[in-house]
């Protein structure tokens, strides 16, 4: 295990969700510390199609971290600190419409935050250990996902004969419990598409660090309001994820290969200029 984050660099980060605890075969494991504490696990650095990739299991290997206990700030910071500028964030979700059954791959273009108790900004006015103090910064999250990353992800799925749902709204709940039937019916009535527990604040924090972030949601179950049975069980979620994890990995590999090569400052999407030249007060890693 190497302990110096800067020794090996990556350009693309993958944050693996439930059921995706390992991603690459030949990896270098590094531990990265951040001003916000430790990320969910080590970073696992490897290569896909000649691209340097850093994989981070969102819940830790062995799935010991529930969604509301994940240190999202440390996770995104750690990825950026090894050079990552593009992040792919696959996650398991519940479908809010009957047509979004298990096995549906939906690449959302919108996000609704229904979490309750998560630190969702780096710009909280509190000093970092190095004494620097973040300024008051408001980034735009009108379009929370990278348009380039979304297009690449959709193309990668189609290339694997997995017709994805192009767009939709991911509503993120606090968890760890699943929604009540009434909550689920309400989410669906708003026109939202899928429900998960980790999509926020991940995308918002990525934007604050000027990272490209693309969400790929895999429907593992119909949420309580969209079906008539007993509701969701965690076992059911993991079973469906396991049945689809190989093709999801394939889509992620192809997406990695398809992401444009762009050094910092050369990305053309809105993500790269999210701070608009504002002084964040802290030095981004
Ligand atoms: Zn972008």
Instruction: Assess whether pLDDT exceeds 60 at residue 3.
Output: no
CA–centroid distance, residue 213 to ligand 1 (Å): 7
Our answer to whether residue 223 is catalytic in this structure is: yes
Q: Is residue 2 part of a domain?
A: no
Q: Annotate the chain with DSSP letters as a single string.
A: -B--TTTS--SEEEEE-TT-----SS-EEE---BTTB--SS-EEEEEETTEEEEEEETTTTTT---GGG--HHHHHHHHHHTT--EEEEEEEEEESSTTS-TT-EEE-SEEEEE--S----S-SSPPPTTS----------SS-S-HHHHHHHHHHHHHTT---EE--EEEEE--SSPPPHHHHHHHHHTT--EEESSHHHHHHHHHHTT-EEEEEEEEEEE-GGG-SSS---HHHHHHHHHHHHHHHHHHHHHHHHHSPP--TT---SGGGGTTTT---SS---
The answer to whether 197 is annotated as binding is yes
Tens digit of pLDDT for each residue in 53-100?
Answer: 999 999 998 888 999 999 999 999 999 999 999 999 999 999 999 999
How many distinct structural domains can be found in the chain?
A: 1
Share the mean pLDDT of the chain. Answer: 91
- What is the reported pLDDT for 115? 97
pLDDT band at 23 (very low <50, low <70, confident <90, very high): confident
Q: φ and ψ at 79, to 5 degrees? A: -65, -45
CA–centroid distance, residue 71 to ligand 1 (Å): 23
Domain of 239? Answer: 12-273
The answer to whether 264 is annotated as binding is no
Q: Is residue 3 part of a domain?
A: no
Q: Is residue 278 part of a domain?
A: no
The answer to whether 222 is annotated as binding is yes
The answer to whether 254 is annotated as binding is no
Greater confidence, 277 or 13?
13
Q: Is residue 7 part of a domain?
A: no
CATH number, domain containing residue 93: 3.40.50.1580
Q: Is residue 96 part of a domain?
A: yes
Residue linked to tokens 């290969």: 257
What's the whole-number mean pLDDT along residues 208-232? Answer: 84
CA–centroid distance, residue 75 to ligand 1 (Å): 18
Q: Is residue 104 part of a domain?
A: yes
Greater confidence, 215 or 17?
215
Tens digit of pLDDT for each residue in 118-157?
Answer: 999 999 999 999 999 999 999 999 999 999 999 999 999 9
Instruction: Assess whether pLDDT exceeds 90 at residue 199.
Output: yes
Instruction: Point out the catalytic residue in the list 221, 246, 264, 279.
Output: 221
Q: Is residue 285 part of a domain?
A: no
Q: Is residue 173 part of a domain?
A: yes
- Work out the percent of the chain whose per-residue pLDDT is above 70: 93
Instruction: Point out the catalytic residue in the list 41, 113, 223, 254.
Output: 223
CA–centroid distance, residue 187 to ligand 1 (Å): 28
pLDDT band at 229 (very low <50, low <70, confident <90, very high): low
């Amino acid at each position: 295990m190497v302990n110096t984050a800067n020794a090996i660099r990556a350009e693309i980060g993958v944050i693996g969700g439930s059921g995706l605890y390992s991603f690459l075969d030949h990896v270098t494991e590094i531990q990265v510390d951040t001003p916000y504490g430790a990320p969910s696990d080590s970073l696992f650095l490897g290569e896909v199609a000649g691209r340097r990739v850093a994989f981070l299991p969102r819940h830790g290997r062995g799935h010991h971290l529930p969604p509301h206990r994940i240190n999202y700030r440390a996770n995104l910071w750690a990825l950026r600190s090894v050079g990552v500028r593009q992040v792919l964030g696959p996650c398991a979700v519940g479908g809010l419409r009957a047509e979004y059954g298990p096995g549906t791959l939906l690449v959302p273009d919108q996000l609704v935050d229904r979490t309750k108790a998560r630190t969702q900004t780096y710009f909280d006015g509190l000093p970092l250990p190095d004494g620097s103090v973040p300024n008051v910064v408001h980034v735009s999250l009108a379009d929370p996902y990278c348009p380039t990353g979304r297009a690449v992800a959709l193309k990668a799925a189609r290339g694997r004969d997995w017709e994805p749902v192009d767009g939709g709204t991911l509503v993120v709940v606090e968890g760890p419990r699943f929604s009540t039937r009434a909550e689920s019916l309400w989410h669906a009535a708003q026109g939202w598409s899928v429900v998960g527990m980790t999509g926020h604040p991940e995308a918002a924090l990525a934007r604050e660090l000027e990272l490209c972030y693309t969400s790929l949601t895999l429907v593992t179950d119909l949420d309580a309001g969209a079906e008539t049975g007993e509701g969701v069980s965690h076992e059911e979620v993991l079973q469906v994820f396991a049945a689809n994890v190989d093709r999801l990995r394939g889509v992620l590999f192809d997406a990695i290969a398809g992401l444009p090569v762009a050094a910092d400052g050369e990305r053309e999407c809105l993500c790269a200029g999210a701070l608009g030249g504002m002084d964040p007060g802290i030095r981004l890693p």
